[in-house]
Structure 1
């Protein structure tokens, strides 16, 4: 089982001391050249006076955006600590056992994909950005991630729509990929969805017994802690959908 996560908009800036990011040491070092391209473009854009607007950030985040200019030199920290949003708080990546953490990947607009223990600095960049010098980031990352993300088992997809566009499973992988949709009283929710996806991911990664290997087994595992139902693919080559009721 592989759990795919989005990053969080809110991030810890990182420690005051320590080594900077080493692109070659990150998960899937084959992505280093693509990471260099996005990193160079982001550093250049972040030095511009119109950087907040170009990166889709409000004026109040000007200092956060400006900090992107120091991404190559700022001390790095494990991604499990850098991501601090609602989903990641509910999942609590730093406390996961090592074996469970190896089943988690975070899809990132800057790094492509990260493991929880990959060391990176905090940054400001979302997948919906049309980054000058690179272009729309989901389209940029799609062929790169397709080449390196070829999971052989069940995929539990907890990504938001923007990040889901950066990696689309092929037909064979889609047959064992389950996208998680969160409802409350029959309606799709947003903020509660992030929290519920985090809780679901933690349950799946820390429960006793073997990890689920099929969509049906995933449903059985989910209903141990949540109200849930499994929906078949809407078309051939599309993933399954697990509808989870927000607690």
Structure 2
């Protein structure tokens, strides 16, 4: 099973250890595209703080994020699972997983990123600010920049099993599973049961809880149909819509009354 996650907008501070080693990151086929984004982002933030803030869509109160980006090559790195914070990652609670669940997380979780493309939670990265919606002056829209390299690398990373896609729309734009990979992909919406509407906090927290449940239970669904059964066994109320034709993902709705 491969689980596709969005990053968090807010991030923990960089580590105090060794700086980033780009060549050590997972999915080395993304290396050239990563270097292009990293170089332009660092140069932009080092050269013109106001322009960088405008490009990155940062308020005056987030001016410090520009300096952080300018120092990406020398900042201390730490596991991506420690860098990403926020509602989804709080609910996922990687740090409190038992050792077996942590090993499953290392194998199965893939976090999408405007800067790195996609990383494993064990990949060591510095804290940064660069969403997939950014348009860098030289590279243009990052979702478009990542599309071709992702199309080459991600099908192999997906292997032959289930792909559970929990990304937001901006990050899903960087790679859309196609063909037989799409047929074993499941996307998930979380709906507030009384209103049947997506509520951001419920959506993020429940997705984090779903991933944690699968990791701690040791569930290993091989396809979307098995995922539906696994989630129901774990106590989730799931409505599933199988694709109308080949080469399209399953669509799952998880209904919640409240999130604790």
TMscore range, shorter length = over 0.9
Q: Give distance in 2, aligned partners of 1:240 and 1:89.
A: 27
- In structure 2, the residue matched to 1:107 is 112
Residue pair 2:105, 2:121 contacting (<8 A) in 1 also: no
Task: Pick closer, same or farther for the CA change 1:234–1:93 going to 2, 3 Å.
Answer: farther
TM-superposition CA deviations, 1:7-47 (whole Å, max 9, x none): 100101222x2111101100012221111100011112223
Residue pair 1:154, 1:212 contacting (<8 A) in 2 also: yes
Q: Displacement, 1:233?
A: 2.3
Residue pair 1:4, 1:157 contacting (<8 A) in 2 also: yes
Structure 2: unaligned runs, 5 residues or longer? none
1:66 aligns with 2:74: no
Q: Give distance in 1, aligned partners of 2:197 and 2:104.
A: 35
TM-score by length of 2: 0.90
**Secondary structure in structure 2 of the residue aligned to 1:126:** coil
- In structure 2, the residue matched to 1:204 is 214
CA RMSD of aligned residues (A): 1.4
More displaced 10-residue stretch of structure 1: 86-95 or 171-180:
86-95
- In structure 1, the residue matched to 2:183 is 175
1:43 aligns with 2:42: yes
Structure 1 or 2: more helix by fraction: 2
Q: Give distance in 1, aligned partners of 2:105 and 2:83.
A: 18
Over 3 Å off, 4+ runs: none
- In structure 1, the residue matched to 2:231 is 222
**Secondary structure in structure 2 of the residue aligned to 1:113:** strand
TM-score by length of 1: 0.95
Q: Give distance in 1, aligned partners of 2:31 and 2:42.
A: 16
- In structure 2, the residue matched to 1:144 is 149
Matched residues, number? 245
Structure 1: unaligned runs, 5 residues or longer? none
1:158 aligns with 2:187: no
